[in-house]
Chain A
């Protein structure tokens, strides 16, 4: 049975068809180093989700002291609709997507 939508661009290339899963950003969380916290994200309820994390401005050589390194991101977990984090030693950015 025909289902859904197909979209082509002007060149005739298929842009979207009914088999595609398209990720959509639902939440961005900036986490400062050394902090713990959580936030509710209602938009992820009952959705397939993934989150991307990235250290922001990593620093291998704090004051040229190679014993002090700033590459450990916050530890992130997403359980149901709660995004939680434990401290890292560098700022961390988290992007939460749904892609069902």
Chain B
């Protein structure tokens, strides 16, 4: 698509608004408390599905963890047909019942015109709205590149790093990629049928202060399994490179 119409740039020289790519606007904000019970069946206790407005337009989801004691992580999305309609949330293993609380926002590109008849609208050459001053826009405040060593649940080693974003208070966070993996970590009984411990791991966020957050790996759950392949941690798809964005609307 060729450019068309208006281009605005910020004081760093970056393009804010043009008629080629659509900006992302706030679609939903919410606070939620999720309750987990890691001690008992049923098996669906390890992740919770949270509904988001259904749309074929990709969602950009940012979270603001409120819990000081437990990591929170977005594992992924649910799709029905071609519509994104939910996100999977998980937290770290704690035997028994515990809760996590966080704010989240869902941002998407503009799919319909605002009711506001004030200000400025920018369209692309197809007539789609790239910018409308009646919406709240997702804004990137800082970017932090993170390298974490591979976790080794064999010995309870779950690396983390603390990110300080001075002068940015209580932002929303986007951690990418949303990593999760599984490892079969120990053979208890080498005689058939073999018994192993399978661990599910992820990387998430834990609130520290209004100007800092912890990014770390954690165990979602672990359990005994009979048979099945041994999956060393080196084969669970760990890349170790993450990006944390702080943002606001």
Interface positions of A (Cβ within 8 A of B): 3-5, 7-10, 15-16, 18-26, 28, 43, 48, 50-58, 60-61, 66-69, 71-73, 75-77, 88, 90, 92-93, 95, 97-100
A/B interface sample: 19 pairs, CB < 8 A: A10-B119, A20-B16, A21-B12, A21-B16, A21-B141, A28-B58, A53-B176, A55-B178, A57-B78, A58-B180, A60-B43, A66-B198, A66-B223, A69-B182, A72-B237, A73-B177, A77-B239, A92-B76, A98-B15
Which residues of chain A come closer than 8 Å to B213, judged between CB atoms? none
**Do B10 and A20 have beta carbons less than 8 Å apart?**
yes
User: Which 8 A/B pairs are nearest by Cβ-Cβ distance?
Assistant: A55-B76, A100-B14, A67-B228, A24-B21, A53-B177, A54-B76, A10-B118, A21-B140
**Do A10 and B116 have beta carbons less than 8 Å apart?**
yes
Q: How many Cβ-Cβ contacts under 8 Å join chain A to chain B?
A: 178
**Do A55 and B10 have beta carbons less than 8 Å apart?**
no
B134 — nearest CB in chain A belongs to which residue?
A9
CB distance from B219 to the nearest CB of A (A): 13
Q: A19: which of B10, B20, B243 is its contact (CB, 8 Å)?
A: B10
Q: A61: which of B43, B77, B118, B174 is its contact (CB, 8 Å)?
A: B43
**Do B21 and A43 have beta carbons less than 8 Å apart?**
yes
With A67-B227, A73-B178 known as contacts, the answer to whether A7 contacts B119 (CB < 8 A) is: yes
CB distance from B101 to the nearest CB of A (A): 22
With A43-B21, A72-B180 known as contacts, the answer to whether A60 contacts B118 (CB < 8 A) is: no
Could you tell me which residues of chain B, from 1 to 60, have a CB within 8 Å of some CB in chain A? 8-17, 20-24, 43-44, 46-47, 58, 60
**Do A19 and B11 have beta carbons less than 8 Å apart?**
yes
**Other A-B pairs beyond A21-B141, A54-B77, A73-B177, 19, CB < 8 Å:** A4-B8, A9-B134, A10-B118, A16-B137, A18-B11, A23-B23, A52-B174, A52-B176, A53-B178, A55-B180, A67-B229, A68-B228, A69-B198, A72-B181, A72-B237, A73-B178, A73-B180, A93-B76, A98-B21
A90 — nearest CB in chain B belongs to which residue?
B76
Interface positions of B (Cβ within 8 A of A): 8-17, 20-24, 43-44, 46-47, 58, 60, 74-79, 84, 87-88, 109, 116, 118-120, 133-141, 143, 174, 176-182, 198, 200, 223, 225, 227-229, 236-237, 239, 243, 245
Q: In the assembly, what is the distance between CA of A80 and CA of B143, in Å? A: 18
**Do B200 and A51 have beta carbons less than 8 Å apart?**
no
A57 — nearest CB in chain B belongs to which residue?
B78
Which residues of chain B come closer than 8 Å to A97, judged between CB atoms? 60
Pick the most buried of B23, B135, B182: most chain A CB atoms within 10 A of its CB. Answer: B182
Which residues of chain B come closer than 8 Å to A22, judged between CB atoms? 16-17, 23-24, 137-140
**Do A54 and B133 have beta carbons less than 8 Å apart?**
no
**Do A20 and B13 have beta carbons less than 8 Å apart?**
no
**Do A100 and B15 have beta carbons less than 8 Å apart?**
yes
Which residues of chain A come closer than 8 Å to B77, judged between CB atoms? 54-57, 93
A94 — nearest CB in chain B belongs to which residue?
B177
Q: In the assembly, what is the distance between CA of A58 and CA of B78, in Å? A: 8
**Do B119 and A16 have beta carbons less than 8 Å apart?**
no
